[in-house]
Structure 1
């Protein structure tokens, strides 16, 4: 019996060692593709989840770089931003998506839920520090071990086999042209009680980390809300959201584009512009920048 247990232990240790070796090797290969490299001349960085990902076509906005990613909570945005700023940095302004939905407890699943760990972990595990590993382990050690040992390797090596610098960079963020829709927008609205503001401390904490990181780099920070379909604008209370955030955030300018006059045909759903809508909005945004000599002075600013 002792020999059997010893053999099992040896097999398990060997299995873990092989998996870790392959994971680290694959991750270093991805790292060699420089996914956090800032495009030449980019002075404005746009980060957040699917809303800015769909709204800001950076090919139409001078000196900008949209590095947003669908279903990305501030936890992963902070890690990504930390790595990005370690590169040669030309960034002067950072626009961060901030809306009531970012702070609901449901979004905790975006950090340590199995589904999001499957899509995020293989890209980021090499960039975690001890604090970030401890957070994931303490909140969901079963999901963390399962994804690390049995899920990440397949996803990682699919990308290694199909390695292309542009595709690797897209895994971490970038503008995505969302499709048109045949759905009746506004027919199925979220419940108002779901739009709470500071129900999840983890998201507020990592937004604070993002702000602290940028301020130490001397980079100007702006909160943004992208265009919303008219059917959901009544659910959106930017004033209350800002007041619920920690007081040091109250001085950060807030550019609220929720009421941008886009028509239904310009949306993919109530919360995301489609490609045509993004083109209209991005051209308008770029012209505003030109008119103000690059100064971000338009939109609702701070707490009134």
Structure 2
């Protein structure tokens, strides 16, 4: 019986090794194709981050602004996306990075495995070791990734970038602002699962925020942390210690990297209920208004230039 189990285990491990090796070769080949990661030549400012920037900032070719944010994207994953973008797009001069009061919280670590299929081919050995994945779950995710890649690659090769390089402005038409929906968002962002105790900051996310800044410094790229508009039902109920920690982190980066790191805080810049999708996201109407506000501010600070 023990011999039989050993044979089964050996067969399973061999199969897993074969599948992972096959995918490594396939996706390594894809990564070597720069066309999949190339953005328009005139786009010198990229917007990265999670759903806050994804839903609030529209692309603008006249200002060279390209939004590649994606819902649920952590600082950890943004680092690997940005690293590849910089390798392929030498014209990038500025990075606008979503940085809110919850960005470094530990719930982001828990989300990593759910986004495995979208990013695993971008990760290096250091990044892969942070994924807490069983072989079975890895294979299931690879199957899903394969089906998506086949769909995009076969139907329209030019659109494959939107799978390999997930992100872009997302239009939100519905307005559903209420105390209840904002509270649900607050629980997920700041509280542990018991909804009583507060989350700690993630050591991993803090480390990769530092790596993003160092990556920008190495490539002479300016980085702007941006806090997008929040509805009063959300912003007024953020636990106070997160506010103080956030501004302390921002001040620390600006002090350590003068001229490289800047910060734009738009938390209270929009107050109309009809401009919000929920407590911490703008809807499509709000995004039009906010994009204009942002553009004006970026021009004033000479972060971007009007062509």
> 1:12 maps to what in 2?
12
- Residue deviations 1:88-144 (CA, integer Å, cap 9, x gap): 311111111111111222222123xxxxx24x22232222222112222xxx2xx34
Matched, 1:175 2:180: no
| 5+ long unaligned stretches in structure 2 | 192-196
> 1:199 maps to what in 2?
201
Aligned equivalents of 1:165 and 1:33: distance in 2? 13
**Residue 30 of structure 1: how far off its partner (Å):** 5.0
Aligned equivalents of 1:255 and 1:67: distance in 2? 18
- Superposition CA RMSD, Å: 3.1
Secondary structure of the residue aligned to 1:210 is: helix
Aligned equivalents of 2:205 and 2:249: distance in 1? 13
- Paired residues of 1:61 and 1:285 also in contact (CA < 8 A): no
> 1:50 maps to what in 2?
51
- Residue deviations 1:7-41 (CA, integer Å, cap 9, x gap): 52553244224422553355357544844222221
Aligned equivalents of 2:51 and 2:267: distance in 1? 15
Range with bigger deviation, 10-19 or 84-93: 10-19
- Residue deviations 1:122-169 (CA, integer Å, cap 9, x gap): 232222222112222xxx2xx342332222223322332332356533
Range with bigger deviation, 226-235 or 48-57: 226-235
Aligned equivalents of 1:223 and 1:283: distance in 2? 18
Range with bigger deviation, 277-286 or 166-175: 166-175
The partner residue of 2:128 within 125, 133, 138 is: 133
Secondary structure of the residue aligned to 1:160 is: helix
**TM-score of the two chains, using structure 1 as the length reference:** 0.80
> 1:154 maps to what in 2?
144
**Residue 257 of structure 1: how far off its partner (Å):** 0.9
- Residue deviations 1:237-262 (CA, integer Å, cap 9, x gap): 65541214683454532101111124
Taking the TM superposition and a 5 Å limit, the aligned residue runs for 1:1-304 are: 4-5=4-5, 7-9=7-9, 11-24=11-24, 26-28=26-28, 30-31=30-31, 32=33, 34-59=35-60, 62-111=63-112, 117-118=113-114, 120-136=115-131, 140=132, 143-163=133-153, 164-165=156-157, 167-171=159-163, 172-181=166-175, 183-188=176-181, 189=183, 190=186, 194=191, 199-235=201-237, 238=243, 240-244=245-249, 247-250=252-255, 251=258, 252-290=261-299, 292=300, 294-295=302-303
Aligned residues: 284
Aligned equivalents of 1:207 and 1:241: distance in 2? 13
> 1:68–1:144: structure 2 CA closer, same or farther, 3 Å change rule?
farther
Aligned equivalents of 1:293 and 1:245: distance in 2? 17
> 1:180–1:2: structure 2 CA closer, same or farther, 3 Å change rule?
closer
